[in-house]
Amino acid sequence: MSRILVTGSTDGLGRAAAEALLSEGHDVVVHARSRERGAVLDTLVDRGAHLTVADFTQRDAVRRVAAELNDAEPLDAVIHNAGVWSGPAVMPVNVVAPYLLTALLRAPRRLVYLSSSSHFSGRPSLERVDWTGASAGSYADSKLFVTVLAAAVARLRPAVPSNAVDPGWVPTKMGGPGAPDDLELGHRTQQWLAAGKDPEALRTSGGYWYHRRLVRPHPAVHDEAFQDRLLRALADETGTVFT
């Protein structure tokens, strides 16, 4: 049994991943941005899940949750699922929060970051990026950055499998009812990378996955110089250095 944190697990792919992992017998930590939102997770808590609450637009809240989790049983894996499609929360939630959790949590043995095919449209430039959320951020850029983060972690922590997953354009609240991809397949790769026992899930790191197939990501993802620039920018912005 593994202890696994799934961020953004009140609905959609995060909820599906948390439910599937619970059904497999894992110790799951679910996450909601507020106590009110957390009420929808009562059925999972009744089944043994542990609830953590934090608004990921607030860096102090991310730091608090990291400290709380570090004081509890060690995590075996984290699925960085929380994300928003548009508006000022895009960079804080999609990039800054997973960066801070990665830097602050006692190193889990596996890390999974939610990317998107939209990352191919992202710009590999850090000029004028508003990490604070004072203005609306680019979803495509945010998904490129978090995919780069996953690859950078894989390079700098070679003992910790770190992968990015494109779940497909699925009919969730974010994807919309007309999304063409299979909702049932949307969370399976994350579940497999976080808890699967076969060698591919255990050993592959730095990959960009779509439905359990490795796909070539944006060229910037494996550009080590750009990885380092992104890590420096986030360290300067947050005052927290990833090591």
Instruction: Read off the pLDDT of residues 219-238 as tens digits, 9 standing for 90 and up.
Output: 999 999 999 999 999 999 99
Q: Which two three-digit tokens encode residue 54?
A: 């934090």
Specify which residues 214 forms β-bridges with: 209
φ and ψ at 88, to 5 degrees? -70, -15
- pLDDT at 4 > cutoff 80: yes
For residue 88, the enclosing domain spans 3-238
| Domain contains 144 | yes
Which position among 99, 143, 173, 208 bears the catalytic label? 143
Q: Which two three-digit tokens encode residue 60?
A: 């102090």
| Domain contains 124 | yes
pLDDT-derived band of residue 163, with 50, 70 and 90 as boundaries? very high
| Domain contains 163 | yes
| Domain contains 227 | yes
59-101 tens-digit pLDDT: 999 999 999 999 999 999 999 999 999 999 999 999 999 999 9
Domain count, the chain: 1
CA separation for the pair 231, 89 (Å, rounded): 20
| Whether 210 is catalytic | no
Specify which residues 78 forms β-bridges with: 5, 111
| Domain contains 173 | yes
| Domain contains 243 | no
Amino acid at 103: A
| Domain contains 65 | yes
Q: Which residues have CB under 8 Å from 197's CB, separation 6+? A: none
Amino acid at 31: H
| Domain contains 153 | yes
CA separation for the pair 8, 84 (Å, rounded): 10
Q: Is the CB of residue 8 less than 8 Å from the CB of residue 31?
A: yes
CA separation for the pair 85, 143 (Å, rounded): 10
| Whether 143 is catalytic | yes
Q: E strands of 21-63, at which residues?
A: 27-32, 50-53
Give the pTM.
0.96
170-209 tens-digit pLDDT: 556 666 666 556 667 889 999 999 999 988 888 899 999 9
Which position among 99, 113, 139, 208 bears the catalytic label? 139
Q: E strands of the chain, at which residues?
A: 3-6, 27-32, 50-53, 77-80, 110-114, 162-166, 208-210, 213-214
- Section 51-63 average pLDDT: 98
φ and ψ at 20, to 5 degrees? -65, -40
CATH of the domain at 105: 3.40.50.720
